Structure 1
Amino acid sequence: MSVVIRIFKTVDGAIHQVEEPEEGCWIALTNPTATEIFELSERFQIEVDDLRAPLDEEERSRIEVEDTYTLILVDVPMIEERNEKDWYGTIPLGIIVSEDMIITVCLEDTPVLTRFMEGRVRSFYTYMKTRFILQILHRNASMYLRYLRIIDKKSEQIEEKLHKSTRNRELMELLELEKSLVYFSTSLRSNEVVLEKLLKVESIKKYPDDTDLLEDVIIENKQAMEMANIYSGILNGMMGTFASVISNNLNIVMKALAVITIVMSIPTIVFSAYGMNVKISGMPFADSHWGFLIIILASVIISLVAALILSKKKFF
């Protein structure tokens, strides 16, 4: 089980985990309990609703500026397991910036923050709050791009399966991927609004390189949006095409069965006629020693002629 509260601080240029909050530190909260939220709210003078907001999966991305802190809420990509397979969605990530520290709140551990915790991000300092925020957002956009590439590869694999066997199972997998792309597109659009407003917030101290970094974040975010839209369009077309193929294959099977039924009904009619309770003298070939064989051959010949006619009409 993941640790609920972790505190990190840059010391001598390296990230360290500390026991108590200090000025210039980063507090990472993962699915905190109600009690922990109330304690943090009282200790750091942060509204309880702002600490709870990232724990609501339906919460929208936005920026809220309060007297002593600023709340930045964005959607981050995540992997969820369903039916023993990995699918993709989004969850909110809250970044609360005060004068002394940064607090992040999320429902679960996210790869967006993991690299920062492990100290694998260059020029990352917990006390440079605005740059840290932009680095998180840049990492977030990069994760969207990474997952989009994985979704593209998965769709290609499913397409290969559909070429060999057009089944509903593969179509349902494509539907799941399309849902993931819809979630991504919606979240990326919301994040874009946050990015555009971010550097307009005067309460956040800015560093000289922040503008360039923000431009990089915006470019990455737009690229992810374009990729999500392109992949969504491709999946839409693919699903429509293969749904038509499955329907067409079903029509072909039904057509073949209908033709076979017509051809096979001819002997049935002949045999039914000979099975009626009428005088033997009135039935052709009834007195012939080869009558049974003649009737069988006649039925087969008539069926073959009917099949030949239907074949020329391209019913087969």
Structure 2
Amino acid sequence: MLEFYKTNETGKTEKIDAPMPGCWISAVAPTSEERDFLIHEIGVLPEFVKSSLDEEESAHIDYDDDADQTLVIFDYPNVNDETRRFSIDRNGEQMSVQYSTMPIGIVVLKGYIVTISLHENQNISDMASGHIKGVDTRLKTRFLLTLLLRISQKYLIYLRQIDRISSRMEKKLYKSAQNKELIEMLGLEKSLVYFSTSLKSDESTLSKIMRGRQIKLYEDDEDLLEDVMIEIKQAIEMCSIYSGILSSTMATFANVISNNMNIVMKILAVITLVVELPNIIFGFYGMNVEGLIEPYAWFPLTLAIVACVIAIIIFKKKDMFD
């Protein structure tokens, strides 16, 4: 899907029908015809389009001297479609989902700025709908930094959501350690790994942008770039903290579950020993032999009860039932 936006003289960004100089071209999951349009009509390099649509592409910046084009690949946080955030289970409770990261390509070329992504994402929607202040398609560097700032803010939002979900799962685990909560926490831990890897690549890309070699930086854009770098660094720190907390929490509850299992097995072993004493006594008196003490039903029954009581007292003193 191709959409075209341009900021008018009043500073309002509006959707237009056809591309014109100074506009923003948004390409979301473009078809083969739309890719050809970007390459042949707009002039975007084919390798830039291919890199932007590669899910495995890591964040980086690339510049082509001959075409005078700059490609910025930046990873943005994403919620997996198959497990949308805050889905409701059959008990009416909110369940967590797994996060991931996806690359988005921003191509800066003469007369246009083009964003290319394989999937729809909230960052592009917010930019197009006018929910973000300071968007100006005529100022390509500022537009790029505004988009990167929005992406970095999304990281912080999702990280806070992960922290709230992990706290909720932890409270549930205190009451009952079940596989469901542990699997959800494992999904959150996996999400933090994705975030951590992508954030480090994004930070490296921002460092290259700050040098001003591939992207021309203006004096008014320096503060905006510093804000983006601050947000990314804060996200990296938060991701590291939450990942450490989540890992230690899961390890602790794994030890608790293992300890509870040992306690259950110990109690079952003690009960088995206590129950086995009557079987031994009744086995002796069930044999067809002579010379047994008091060969009457009441005696082995009484002896079995006394033996069980004594065994229970001994095990109780040794805290075998705790």
Shared fold per TM-score greater than 0.5: yes
Q: Which residue of 1 aligns with 2:7?
A: 10
Select 1:101's aligned residue among 81, 88, 112.
Answer: 112
Is residue 71 from structure 1 mapped to residue 59 from structure 2 by the alignment?
Answer: no
Whole-angstrom CA distance in 1 between matches of 2:248 and 2:213:
46
Whole-angstrom CA distance in 2 between matches of 1:131 and 1:36:
26
Q: Which residue of 1 aligns with 2:93?
A: none
Contact 1:81–1:87 under 8 Å retained in 2: no
Q: Which residue of 2 aligns with 1:234?
A: 245
**How far off is 1:123 after superposition?**
2.0
The aligned amino acid for 1:55 is L
The aligned amino acid for 1:263 is V
Whole-angstrom CA distance in 2 between matches of 1:218 and 1:138:
8
**How far off is 1:69 after superposition?**
0.8
Is residue 220 from structure 1 mapped to residue 231 from structure 2 by the alignment?
Answer: yes
Whole-angstrom CA distance in 1 between matches of 2:56 and 2:153:
22
Select 1:43's aligned residue among 38, 41, 44.
Answer: 41
* Identity between Structure 1 and Structure 2 (%): 43
Question: TM-score, normalised on structure 1?
Answer: 0.93
**How far off is 1:274 after superposition?**
2.0
Aligned length: 307
Q: Secondary structure at the match of 2:185?
A: helix
The aligned amino acid for 2:72 is I
Whole-angstrom CA distance in 1 between matches of 2:30 and 2:286:
83
**How far off is 1:224 after superposition?**
0.4
Whole-angstrom CA distance in 2 between matches of 1:314 and 1:21:
80
Q: Which residue of 1 aligns with 2:30?
A: 32
Q: Secondary structure at the match of 1:231?
A: helix
Question: TM-score, normalised on structure 2?
Answer: 0.92
Select 1:314's aligned residue among 311, 315, 319.
Answer: 319
**How far off is 1:82 after superposition?**
4.1
Q: Which residue of 2 aligns with 1:285?
A: 294
Q: Secondary structure at the match of 2:27?
A: strand
Whole-angstrom CA distance in 2 between matches of 1:169 and 1:119:
40
The aligned amino acid for 1:284 is I
Whole-angstrom CA distance in 2 between matches of 1:221 and 1:162:
32
Whole-angstrom CA distance in 1 between matches of 2:77 and 2:281:
69
**CA spacing shift, 1:124–1:82, aligned 2, 3 Å:** closer
**How far off is 1:174 after superposition?**
0.7
**Deviates further, 154-163 or 79-88:** 79-88
Q: Which residue of 2 aligns with 1:303?
A: 308
The aligned amino acid for 1:119 is G
**How far off is 1:314 after superposition?**
1.8
Unaligned runs of 5+ in 2: 88-95
The aligned amino acid for 1:127 is R
Whole-angstrom CA distance in 2 between matches of 1:200 and 1:23:
27
Q: Which residue of 1 aligns with 2:91?
A: none
Whole-angstrom CA distance in 2 between matches of 1:96 and 1:112:
16
Q: CA RMSD in A?
A: 1.4
Q: Secondary structure at the match of 2:297?
A: helix
What CA deviation, in whole Å up to 9, does each residue of 1:217-274 have, x standing for no partner?
1001000000000000000000000000000000000000000011111001111222
What CA deviation, in whole Å up to 9, does each residue of 1:285-309 have, x standing for no partner?
22xxxx2122112101101101111
What CA deviation, in whole Å up to 9, does each residue of 1:52-103 have, x standing for no partner?
2122221111000013210000100011144565321100010000010110
Q: Which residue of 2 aligns with 1:268?
A: 279
**How far off is 1:203 after superposition?**
5.0
Contact 2:52–2:105 under 8 Å retained in 1: yes
1:103-142 pair list within 5 angstroms: 103-142=114-153
**CA spacing shift, 1:8–1:206, aligned 2, 3 Å:** same
